Every structure is written in structure tokens, then in C-alpha cells.
Structure 1
Amino acid sequence: MTAIPSNWYTEFFNEDYPKIYSERLSQDATERESAFAVQALGLQEGDRVLDLACGHGRHAVALARRGMVVTGQDLNGDYLQTARDGAAQSGVEIETVHSDMRDIPFTDEFDAVINMFTAFGYFDSEDEDLRVLQAVSNALKDGGKLLLDTLNREWVLSNYIQNDWHTDDDGNTFLEHREFDLVTGRNRVTFSIVTAAGARRESPGHDVRLYTLTELTHLLDIAGLQLSVAYGDYDGAPYAINTPRMIVVATKD
């Protein structure tokens, strides 16, 4: 099993990340996902939304353009600057917070929290992932909602491809090697990049715990968040074994 440092998330989200996932981070994908979040959460103009692990702020900016009052929180300061720049270019404002997702510096503040594109399950233990959900619960108003979007573990295992690759428009090839640990439920992925000129280098990988719906519901319950509905994709299909995503909406008690 490939060894990936436990703090992989401090290295992986670099200049390679948006290139590796360029198609899935496109503007069209962002608009589709953001529109789904608005509908699934019943968001209205003026609602306060926290985009937790917001990255470059693509969803945060899209929601701000729809009239929400948005805060983006991320551990990567460079990404937060990109988010602020993107908001300014779109003629909107977002607040940003530079912090680990386990430490959300708000209490009873938000109508909704979103955590998109498998930005959950980063840490070594369930206790640390539970800390994230407890921090989310604390940051939500009573009756506020969490939308948590991850890969569907059942679908991943049914469609597992250990080695894959793709080439971008600039001729760079991205080689992807995956290993799933059936004991820990962690999906470890490493990347090699071959440039158009033929130079090869390694890029940091990621190591994410993929929870089952049963496991995640248990953690949500402990955190004071009750599962409302689970979707299987951004079109709102019901969650099932054969849907690629597991998108849960949970409500604060």
C-alpha cells in the first residue's frame, strides 16, 4: 500500500490540482453544482452560507452571484486570495477565513454550510472527522442545513480502476494510481505528470476516508445533525449503490 503523509492536504492543493481536475472544476460544472446546492438547501437571497474547504472559491463566488452572503473557509491562503480575486472580478463580495476545517470560528451564524467535491474524510481518525461535523453544527443556526458532497464508496468499489490517465489541452498527461484499503475505508491516490515536452515528475497524492451512508449518518447524529435526504448526483437523483456521488443534506436539531 502506497504511503501518503497524514498531512497530505497541506501539499496536494498546489498549482497541479486545478490542472489534474480541470474538466471537473470547469465553470459549467461549478454552475451546475451550485444550482443544485441552492435547490437542495432551499436557499434564498440574503441567506448566510459557509463554503467549508472552499478552495479557489468557485462555489462561494457562484452562490454570492445568486445573492447569498457567503463566507469561504480554507487552509490554503493562496487559494483564498484566488477566491477573493474571483469574487471581485464577478462584482460580488465574499468573506474569507484562513483556518483548518476542524476549527470554524463562528457560533449560530449560518443558514447553511456546504462542503463540496469530497472535501471530507481528510483526517486520520473518525474522531477528527467528527470534530469537523461538530464545528459545522456549532456554526449553524437552529434549523440550519449542511450539504456534504462526497464520492459514493459503494460506486467507487463497484467501478474501481486502479490505474488511469488523461491528457489536457496543453498536451500534459496525468497518470493516476489508486489503492483502496478495505480495512480503513481510505482511498489513496497518487499522480505522475508527463509534460508535453516529455519530462516526468511526481505530484503529491491524497488519502481520503470514504464513509458509507450508515457510518456518516452515525457521525452526523453525534454532532447534532439529522439526515434529511441523500442524493446520488447533482441532478437530484436519489442516492443508490450505483450513483457516483453521496450528497447528504442534514439539519441541525
Structure 2
Amino acid sequence: MENNTQWFASWFNTPYYHILYKDRDYKEAQLFMDTLTHYLNLPEQAHILDLACGKGRHAIYLNKLGYQVTGADLSENSILHAKQFENDRLQFIVHDMSKPLNQQFDAVFNLFTSFGYFKNEADNLNTIKAIQANLNETGFGVIDFMNTDYVIENLVPKEIKTVNDIAFHITRYVENGYIIKNIAFTDGGQNYTFQERVKAFTLADFEALFNQAGVYLLDIFGDYKLQKFNAKTSERLIMIFK
């Protein structure tokens, strides 16, 4: 790469991350929250932890449904943005999801493949344990992950996505058990490169983690309508546990 290429400690803490993904489907996310909270039959005044909440799109909607919500994310910039939506029943905090908070919730949601980023793989298990520690006696944990078998089978190796007049050059590949996305672009005469690395966890991998953590897997679904999971055709791997 050229000498003026910028490297950032955290891709998620930059404005470019939010530019690239600005067209995410809010309606789909809201319908998923409607379906999920109805399925879990959460109490009306339930307190939900949205773990790795980003800018808070799920947390804000859950709060509009009437729930008390805490949104937690490692990205200070994302939390700073989300804090403008706070009220007496919606709070956002900077937090490392591999460590438990000092309170318990009726549900802990980890949504939109916000898992498997850690350099230290022990923190994947630590995150499961932290979720369990943050659940009250009747609480549910939910991890909404990609179905890696489907993703790898349908991986698009290269594409150019233009957003806000920025041409994002994206390459995808699988390496050492990770699904990797390299993102390169130029803005304001500067060249930038970022990388997303997500551990290619399968259902069997999660089952092993749950077993190690002493967590009981209750249900598995394959999409945001909570239809049956199929390893070959489902786009999502949604797991509900206690």
C-alpha cells in the first residue's frame, strides 16, 4: 500500500463504517424485534441489554415498544451518537461485551453478527459467560449470527460499492477459520484500508461454547421471521438460550 494509507485501531469507530452500511434495512430490524419479543413473551416492563448495539437502531426501537433498554458497545463514537436518543428508560454505555455488567436483565440480545471479532479467542467463551451472568432467573439470551455455511457458499469475492461518492473496493475470502472482508477506498486524496474479521462459527461451534459455559440452548432459527434453521439455505443462525 502507499505510504499515505491510513490504518485505524477500530473500523467500527470511524464514520466510514456508518457510510458504507447506511442502507441497512431498519424495517427488517424492527420486524425482527417485534417477532422476537413476542416469541419470548417478555414482560411489559422488561429490561433488555442490547450487547454490541452500534448506533442503537435495535435498542431505540425496543424502547419505543415500551421496554427499558441498555445499549452497550465498545465504539465510543457509536455510543456518543446513540446518547442523543437517551431517556429515562433508554441508556447507552461504552462496554466490552466479554465482561459482565453489574446487573441482570430479562433478556440480552447480541444482534446482527456482533460476535466472533476477538483476537483472543478465549473472549468468545467469556462473552457467552458474561451474557449468562447478566440474565436473571427467567431471562433469555439471544445471539443473531450469520449462517457461515450459507455465507461461505455464496461469498462474493470482489465488488465495488459506491456510497456518498466514495467507491468502496471490497474483497472477501476465508482464511484460518475467519471470514475476512477487506475494504479499500480513497476520500479527500487519502487512501484508506480496513478489515473485518469474523470467526466462522458453525452451530456445532456455538453448541460447544454453550456446553463449556453451562448454557442451555432452547431454540434455533434460520431467519428474522423465526423460521426453522437449515444449514444449507438459512441466511441467519439465531440462537435462544438460558
SS at match of 1:215: helix
| CA distance 1:175–1:29, change in 2 (3 Å) | farther
| CA distance 1:208–1:99, change in 2 (3 Å) | same
Equivalences, count: 234
- Name the Cα RMSD after superposition: 2.1
Match of 2:105 among 103, 107, 110: 110
Q: Match of 1:244?
A: 235
Q: 2:198, 2:39 → 1: CA distance?
A: 25
Q: Map residues 86-235 of structure 1 onto 2, 5 A cutoff.
A: 86-87=85-86, 93-107=89-103, 109-168=104-163, 170-181=164-175, 184-194=176-186, 201-235=191-225
8 Å contact kept, 2:67–2:89: no
Q: Match of 2:3?
A: none
| CA distance 1:203–1:38, change in 2 (3 Å) | farther
SS at match of 1:19: helix
8 Å contact kept, 2:12–2:75: no
8 Å contact kept, 2:11–2:17: no
8 Å contact kept, 1:155–1:242: yes
CA shift for structure 1 position 203: 3.6
Q: Match of 2:42?
A: 43
Q: 1:243, 1:56 → 2: CA distance?
A: 27
Q: Match of 1:56?
A: 55
Q: 1:176, 1:128 → 2: CA distance?
A: 28
8 Å contact kept, 2:180–2:196: yes
Structure 2: stretches of 5+ with no match in the other structure: 1-7
**What TM-score, normalized by structure 2, do the two folds share?**
0.88
Percent of pairs identical after alignment?
27
Q: 2:42, 2:17 → 1: CA distance?
A: 29
* Runs of 4 or more above 4 Å deviation: none
Q: Map residues 55-74 of structure 1 onto 2, 5 A cutoff.
A: 55-74=54-73
SS at match of 2:100: coil
| CA distance 1:9–1:237, change in 2 (3 Å) | farther
- CA deviation map 1:7-64 (0-9, x unaligned): x87333310111111222x432331232233134322321011000111011111101
